[in-house]
Structure 1
Amino acid sequence: MSYGVSAALQVAVFGALSADTVLDGLVAGAVFDAEPAGVLPASYVSLGAERVRDRSDATGAGALHEFDVSVVTEGDGFFAAKQIAAAVSDALVDAELALSRGRLVSLQFYKGKAAKVESGRIRRIDLIFRARVQDG
């Protein structure tokens, strides 16, 4: 197994989300690697947790990365959050991301969960993506 591609994958995913014009139009550049301190924007996207499993084979070291991308909005209802989540998905699914280390084999949506949080004031959609990578 190789965890060596993890940082390169994170940089590429963050770059793809930050550069997506549709997503930018919905969150005005509020794409974070970690939620910033202080007052948060009314809508934003944040990279989250990651789980990695070995997927090495006879051709070399590889891994399956499951990573979270969260959409958070203060708007009433889930409509705005779902529009943002769709833009995140459109930016990532089957994306041909260039990695500084290793190679992205595939990037797919795995599952998601929508919920009301903070006494129903906030809408949050947690999206989970699966990225298959090879190292070397």
Structure 2
Amino acid sequence: MSVSPAVALRKAIISRLASDTALTGALGGAKFYDEAPRAAEPPYVVFAETQTRDWSSALSPGAEQFFVLSVISVQRGARQALDLAERIVALLDEAPLSLDGHHLVDLRHLSSATRREQSGRFARADLRFRATTETLG
């Protein structure tokens, strides 16, 4: 059974982000989650929403993915969230990631947005990306 393009992309993204000592140091460890555990201490990064569409050609099956990585911080203000977001964008925008069972054609950062949650207790930076992949073999 082949790995879905969304799962393959997430695995490659986590590997790329976790290998960056500056980022993991700022997070206090490799804190990258599909869903943050209840006891997770910010700052951390969570995969928020994902949308996958068919991007097949006549010669090969493919997928177009839009996804959001959210940086969660408890520091007052958005500075920490923005600093972490900037590092993540630098690591992922147009990165040549290796995916299990798929070829990454393109990975681009599309936009960023910040907001406060829970009466200003948490700062959040949402990073929207677009990736296109082709299925191998």
Do they fold alike, i.e. is TM over 0.5? yes
Match of 1:95 in 2: 95
Aligned-partner Cα distance in 1 for 2:48–2:18:
15
Aligned-partner Cα distance in 2 for 1:113–1:107:
18
Match of 1:126 in 2: 126
Alpha carbons 2:76, 2:120 under 8 Å: kept = no
Q: Report the CA distance between 1:96 and its aligned residue.
A: 1.1
- The count of aligned residue pairs is 133
Aligned-partner Cα distance in 1 for 2:43–2:61:
38
Unpaired runs of 5+ residues, structure 2, are none
Which residues of 2 match residues 99-118 of structure 1 at below 5 A?
A: 99-118=99-118
Alpha carbons 1:4, 1:135 under 8 Å: kept = no
Residue 42 of structure 1 aligns to a residue whose secondary structure is coil
Unpaired runs of 5+ residues, structure 1, are none
Match of 1:46 in 2: 46
Alpha carbons 2:65, 2:130 under 8 Å: kept = yes
What is the root-mean-square deviation in Å for CA atoms of aligned residues? 1.4
Alpha carbons 1:50, 1:68 under 8 Å: kept = yes
Alpha carbons 1:14, 1:33 under 8 Å: kept = no
